[in-house]
């Protein structure tokens, strides 16, 4: 999610987001909470189920609170501070149970780990709970790689893929590094480089709505780079980017498509073809 609209809320306390710190990862827990994200819930529910399957495959019991909704990021980055705080507080109350929180989206995980500190910067007691949540929050690939320390047998056919990582997830959660390492554990998967991997796809949440011409040009550059890579498909751990990139590809009437990394990983380790 873009940070372009932070100045829209002049009365909010703004704290510069920290770079991801080196984490001391815990042992694999018996239970986690999955925060599914609103985009995944609405547009990619099968990817959410695949994330659960990946976690259960590691012997972990997955809790999915039905009351969860948005992390508050769209309101926050658009300058709606009061509304963002209300949404964020509801998620904080729901997740205040001590269990690790696994999020199949680096940008939403980054909201928990980084920006809730800004949202509640003037509420010291709430901020203590925010710090606790931040330490318990893991992006899905990070959790599988460093907490579960997965050792997989690749059951799929040899393939070549391109990786897209959202710009905020790169900055705040190092998602690009985790995804690369995780894909590197699949011996029949070749990840092809493309020259726009670090560039924004143009989605940026409300950015794509407020500046559609600029956003459209950005996603054209992104899709061209992906197709020119020679990859069979694109994978990404961010649902918003996936929705934007696939929408552009569909509009261009080309066969190339992307899918969520959770679904790609599940197919490789389970041997089950996507329906």
CA–CA separation, 12 and 120 (whole Å): 10
The model carries a pTM of: 0.89
pLDDT (tens digit, 9 = 90+) per residue, 92-130? 999 999 999 999 999 999 999 999 999 999 999 999 999
Q: Shortest CA distance to 13 belongs to which of 120, 133, 85, 92? A: 120
Of 241, 128, 225, 121, which Cα lies nearest the Cα of 175? 241
Cα(173)–Cα(152) distance, rounded to whole angstroms? 23
Average pLDDT over residues 67-79: 92
Q: For residue 140, is pLDDT > 50?
A: yes
Domains belonging to the chain, first-starting first, are 6-11+31-147 (no CATH), 159-270 (3.40.50.11810)
Burial class (CB in 10 A: 0-12, 13-18, 19+), 185: middle
Contact 54, 123 (CB under 8 A): no
Q: What is the pLDDT of residue 11?
A: 42
């Amino acid at each position: 999610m873009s940070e372009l609209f932070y100045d829209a809320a002049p009365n909010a306390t703004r704290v510069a987001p920290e770079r991801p710190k080196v984490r001391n990862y815990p042992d694999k827990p018996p239970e986690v909470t999955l925060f599914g994200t609103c985009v995944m819930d609405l547009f990619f529910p099968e990817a959410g189920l695949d994330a659960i399957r990946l976690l259960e495959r590691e012997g972990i019991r997955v809790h999915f609170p039905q009351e969860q909704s948005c992390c508050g990021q769209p309101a926050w980055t658009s300058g709606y501070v009061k509304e963002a705080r209300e949404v964020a507080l509801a998620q904080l109350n729901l997740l205040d149970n001590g269990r690790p929180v696994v999020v199949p989206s680096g940008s939403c995980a980054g909201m928990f780990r980084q920006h809730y500190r800004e949202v509640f910067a003037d509420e010291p007691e709430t901020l203590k709970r925010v710090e606790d949540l931040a330490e318990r929050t893991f992006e899905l690939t990070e959790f599988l790689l460093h907490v579960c320390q997965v050792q997989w047998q690749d059951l799929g056919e040899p393939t070549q893929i391109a990786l897209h990582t959202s710009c905020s997830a790169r900055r705040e959660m190092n998602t690009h590094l985790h995804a690369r390492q995780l894909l590197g554990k699949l011996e029949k998967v070749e990840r092809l480089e493309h020259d726009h991997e670090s560039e924004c796809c143009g989605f940026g949440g409300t950015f794509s709505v407020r500046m559609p011409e600029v956003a459209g040009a950005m996603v054209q550059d992104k899709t061209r780079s992906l197709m020119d890579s020679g990859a069979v498909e694109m994978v990404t751990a961010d649902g918003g980017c996936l929705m934007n990139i696939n929408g552009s590809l569909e509009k261009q009437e080309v066969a190339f498509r992307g899918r969520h990394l959770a679904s790609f990983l599940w197919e490789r380790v389970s041997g089950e073809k996507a329906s």
